Amino acid sequence: MKKTILDYTLKVRIPLIVFVIIASFMTTYFVSRQERDGVGNQPVQPIKYSHKLHAGTMGIDCQYCHVGVTKGRQALVPSVNICMNCHTVARKDRPEIIKLKEYYDSSKALPWKRVHKVPEYAYFNHSVHVNVGIDCESCHGNVREMEEIKQVKAFNMSACIACHKNTKDFVPYVENIKQGPLHCAACHR
């Protein structure tokens, strides 16, 4: 029987197309995994703020700026007046500080780019983690070494669950730590 174009399509073309689709999907899936989890996310900030300088070199406590971290769900990005506590006098002549002062004086919104994000349907709470003694580095990495803030760990459900299951392995430095809750309503409402 004469081979028709249909046979060619069925035997060669379609399998080839399916293979290419699956292969590219798989490649993309694994290659972009980190990216999709946001690992390595380092957006350009409106002001070049260095965590390394403030938290590392100068050793300012995280909570000096992130005031909400022991009090509620949000750690909070500092309000501009907290920056101005020092910068009304300190380094007034630097271009980035001049920019900061402009924001402060004009009461214009200072649009920091969000780096870490847990989806809206997960009600992550900073205070319950920090108040049992888990330090910031366990999730946010060594911020004291970062010139510009960057996400280093995945913020997805499997990351949460991994630590909630094997809490002792993830935060060995906290004495008598109990396993984190694993039921749905602990994070989702």
Which of 7, 35, 102, 135 is in the footprint of another protein by CB under 8 A?
35
Residue 41 near another protein by CB under 8 A: yes
Q: Using the rule CB under 8 A, is 185 a contact of another protein?
A: yes
146 makes contact with another protein (CB under 8 A): no
**Least distance to another protein from the beta carbon of 41, Å?**
5
**CA–CA dist 35, 59 (Å, integer):** 31
What distance in Å separates the CA atoms of residue 152 and residue 146, rounded to the nearest whole number?
A: 11
Q: Which is nearer to another protein, 1 or 109 (CB)?
A: 109
The reply to whether 159 sits near another protein by the rule CB under 8 A is: no
Q: Measured in whole angstroms, how far is the alpha carbon of residue 96 from the centre of its chain?
A: 24
- From residue 5, alpha-carbon distances to 8, 9, 11, 34 in Å are 5, 6, 10, 43
Which positions from 80 through 119 interact with another protein, judged by CB under 8 A?
A: 80-82, 103-104, 107-117
Q: Does residue 189 touch another protein according to CB under 8 A?
A: yes
CA distances from 39 to 84, 114, 126, 136, 159 (A): 31, 13, 20, 16, 12
- The residue count of the chain comes to 189
Q: Is 180 in the site for another protein (CB under 8 A)?
A: no
Question: Do 115 and 42 meet the contact criterion of CB atoms below 8 Å apart?
Answer: yes
**Between 57 and 76, how does the x/- string for binding to another protein read (CB under 8 A)?**
----------xx-xxxxx-x
The region of 5-13, 85-93, 168-176, 180-188 touching another protein under the rule CB under 8 A is 180-188
